[in-house]
Every structure is written in structure tokens, then in C-alpha cells.
Amino acid sequence: MSSALFPQHVIARKRDGRSLTRDEIAAFVRGATDGSWADYQLSAMLMTIFLRGMDTPETAALTEAMMRSGFVADLSNVAPPRADKHSTGGVGDKVSLHLAPMVAACGVAVPMISGRGLGHTGGTLDKLESIPGFCVNLTFAEYRTQLEKIRLALIGQTAELAPADKKLYALRDVTGTVESIPLICASILAKKLAEGTQVLVGDVKFGRGAFMKDKAKARELAQTLVSVANAMGTPMRAVLTAMDEPLGRAVGNALEVAESIDCLKGRGPADTMEVTFALGEQMLLLSKVAATKEEARRKLEASVASGAALQKFRELVAAQGGDVRVIDDPTRLPQARLKAAVAAPRAGFVEDVDAMGVALAALRLGAGRAKAEDKIDHAVGIGALVKIGERVENGAALCVIHASNEEALAEAKRMLTKAVVLGETSVATPMLIDEIVG
Ligand code: URA
């Protein structure tokens, strides 16, 4: 190793405000992957990056090195175009489940590798696993073959995918360095670009229920993601979307799968479909299967109206070992033992539904994980949730709680009564799509 690549020298150069070279960044990522840098050196490096930042070439070099720390899928067997989307995550965000088959039904292959997510509610994989038998742990060989056959796969991260991110994310989590735009960007893109997509669309959420609370910060992340993906040769756009109230009317794993199936049957909630179409349009445009937003929208709508998207979802569930009967009969999804409505204490207009309050109630019910090793209860959550702007009568249901025990039900009821605020006058439905970056 050249002395310039000793950990202490690389750390000191960043500490002093210099831009790092590709070799220096590669040495840092190698150090994280093979253990040749000690945890204290990796942590010091993460903190200097957090404090000093990184420019686009440095962030691209970091992303590339992290991506190449593991397996990079070769999908040359899957005919182009191939597109994927990534969401920074939000409460009730089940969009991937129905968007992926809609886009696949429009002729674009969707290779989607998702994380499990340590959120208040489960991630995409947890939602899919509420379908009895559905297997998210495919090998890369199985993933490639399935993509070739049905042009759609939704699987979990394997240990070979960007292992440097696993090490660095664990250190960031305990060193106060998670909220760094270059580190977040490299972490997201290293995994997404290793899965073999040709173009990428990001859903970067901001607001109370989002990872990024602040809109300006979310925009900065969106711009960084787009610049870095483009610099690495993967066309990308990002849609900035609000996450102050939950997306749709269901929060919880099986309940969200049922809502996604409704979306595929043309009965999806308006807000969920608005975000779905905004992301799908960009996926079709970047994939060049539509020339305008309007054409892309028409194709996506037709995929639902014709039943082609629902059929793609059926193929996906069958290919990954799930019980396809849940599609026609969602009562076959896991059902909670207890169901109870939260009654409106008076008549009025829904002024607010606090996404974080709903998320914490879902977590209390067992729909998410407080710690990585926690087990999820797929059946529990919140359904039939009112939306901001709706009128409710005295005693009408604000939502229905699905619980596995009385204590959790009582506590969730208290939390949800606080999360839903009623007012005297009608309020406008909040704007969801803020901006398209890229
Ligand atoms: N999601 C990721 O995968 N990585 C981050 O650093 C933040 C969100």
C-alpha cells in the first residue's frame, strides 16, 4: 500500500478539506469490506465526510467503490428496457407492490432488489411476505431467470450485494453520521445500481412521516442522487413527494398488500395512484417506451384497465411461490384476531392525519420493527383510515385497528385518536407531488 493510502493519511486529507482521489476512496471502501481499516478509522472517516461533505465526483467514486465491493448483476439475458424505482420510504408506502407490475405490463422489465428497512412499518419485503408462501430470498441465478421469463422480480438484498454498505451503515447508525447526503446517496445507489437496472426513478419523500423531514434537504438528496447516477451512466430522475399524512388508507403489511391489489384492480386510493402514476410516468419516459408524460400515463392506466398489470402481479406471486388465491380473495391474507373502529368524537372535517402518529401506532401493534431482530406481525395495522379534507359524522369510523391483543389495541386507539385531528371547516387535499428533479 502506498503511504498516501494509509487510513490516517486519507482521513487527514479529508479532515483538511481536500477532495479525495478515486484511489483514496477505493482504499477506504476496501478497508470497510476486508477489515483492513479498524472500526475507529472507518468511523473517523465517516465523521470527516459528514462534516466536510463530498463533491459529485467524490460521491460517484464512493458509490462505485461500494457497488463494486460485492456482486454486480449481469442482466444481459434480460432484453432492454429495464427500469426500477427507489423510495426513501414513508408511512403506508406500498407503491412498489403495484407499480412494478404496472410498469412490467407496459413492456419494461423491473429488476427490484429491496431492503427490509428498519422502519415503523415493514418494508416492501415484509409486505410481500404477508402473502403465504411468497419467497423473497432468490439466488442471483434465479433472479436472472425469472426476469428473463416474466420481466419482473422483487427480491431481498443478498449478503453479496454492496457488503461495504452493510459495514458502513452499521457504523453510521452508532456514530451520528446517518444524515449525510453523500453517504446516504452512495448507500442507496450502490445497492440499486448493482441490481442491473438501466434507468432509475427515485421517490424522495419529505415531511413528518419521511426519513428526510425537511423539504430543502430532501431536494438536495434528490439532486445528489440524480447527479451521481447520471455521472455513473445510469439515467435517473427523482420525484419529490410529501409525506405528512400516510399514503392511502392502509398501514400494516397484509393490509397494504390488499390495498395494492385494489390499486391493480382500478380501485386504489387517489393519493396512492397519484404517486404511482408520477413515478411510473418517469420510468416509462426514461425507458423510452413513451415519448410524453401523457402517453406514459395512458399506458399505465391501460395496464390497469385491461387487467394486464394484475396478471403480471399474479405471475410474480406464482413465480416466487406465493398463494395466488389472495389476489381474488384478499381475506386469505393473514387476519388479525381483533378489529375495532376508532369513532369520531364529533362531526367535522379531517384537518390532519399525522403520519408519524399513525406509524407509531402501527409499530405498537407489531407491524414494524424497533430493532433489526424484532419479528413482524403481518396481520396487524390500521385500515380504512380517513384522509385530510374528508367530512366525518359524529361516531363514524376514523379508521379500523387490526390488533393481536387487547393492550396493543387500547394503546393504538389512544395514539390514533391523537393522530387524527378534526376541525370545523373544510380543508384542501394536500399537494403530494412537489417537483421532478432531473
Ligand atoms: N437508505 C439507505 O439505503 N441508506 C441510507 O443511508 C439511508 C436510507
Which tens digit of pLDDT belongs to each residue from 225-257? 999 999 999 999 999 999 999 999 999 999 999
Q: What is the CATH number of domain 334-423?
A: 3.90.1170.30
The residues, ordered by sequence, that sit 6+ positions from 177 with a Cβ below 8 Å of its Cβ are 43, 46, 47, 49, 50, 171, 183
Which cell is 404 given? 393481536
Pair 163, 33: CB distance under 8 Å: yes
Tens digit of each residue's pLDDT (9 = 90 or more) over 274-308: 999 999 999 999 999 999 999 999 999 999 999 99
pTM to 2 decimals? 0.95
Start-end of CATH 3.90.1170.30 domains in the chain: 334-423
Ligand 1: which of 157, 165, 184, 195 to mutate, judged by most atoms within 8 Å of the beta carbon? 184
Q: Residue 241 belongs to what H/E stretch?
A: strand 236-242
Start-end of CATH 3.40.1030.10 domains in the chain: 83-328
**Catalytic pick among 126, 165, 203, 262:** 165
Ligand 1 contacts CB of residue 188 (under 6 A): yes
In the CATH scheme, what architecture does the domain 83-328 have?
A: 3-Layer(aba) Sandwich (3.40)
Q: How many of the other CB atoms lie within 10 Å of CB of 87?
A: 26
Ligand 1 contacts CB of residue 113 (under 6 A): no
Active site residue 172: yes
Q: What is the CATH number of domain 3-53?
A: 1.20.970.10
C-alpha angle 251/124/322, rounded to 5°?
105
- Rounded to whole angstroms, the Cα distance separating 62 from 186 reads 6
**Residue owning grid cell 481499516:** 37
Give pLDDT, residue 55. 96
**Catalytic pick among 87, 114, 187, 303:** 187
Ligand 1: which of 84, 179, 187 to mutate, judged by most atoms within 8 Å of the beta carbon? 187
Alpha carbon of 64 to ligand 1 centroid (Å): 16
Start-end of CATH 1.20.970.10 domains in the chain: 3-53
Pair 203, 279: CB distance under 8 Å: yes
> pLDDT-based confidence at 117, cuts 50/70/90?
low
In angstroms, the Cα distances linking 135 to 9, 126, 142, 169, 317 are: 46, 10, 12, 25, 9
- Phi and psi at 418, nearest 5°, equal -75, -35
- Phi and psi at 349, nearest 5°, equal -105, 140
Give pLDDT, residue 203. 97
Packed helices 270-286 and 95-105: angle between N→C axes, nearest 10 degrees? 40
Ligand 1 atom 6 nearest Cα = 184
Alpha carbon of 418 to ligand 1 centroid (Å): 30
Ligand 1 contacts CB of residue 187 (under 6 A): yes
> pLDDT-based confidence at 1, cuts 50/70/90?
low
Does the pLDDT of residue 141 top 80, yes or no?
Answer: yes
C-alpha 103, offset from chain centre: 16
Tens digit of each residue's pLDDT (9 = 90 or more) over 66-94: 999 999 999 999 999 999 999 999 999 99
In angstroms, the Cα distances linking 31 to 35, 62, 230 are: 5, 13, 27
Give pLDDT, residue 196. 92
In angstroms, the Cα distances linking 375 to 297, 371, 372 are: 39, 9, 9
**Residue owning grid cell 361516531:** 395
Give pLDDT, residue 332. 97
Does the pLDDT of residue 2 top 80, yes or no?
Answer: no
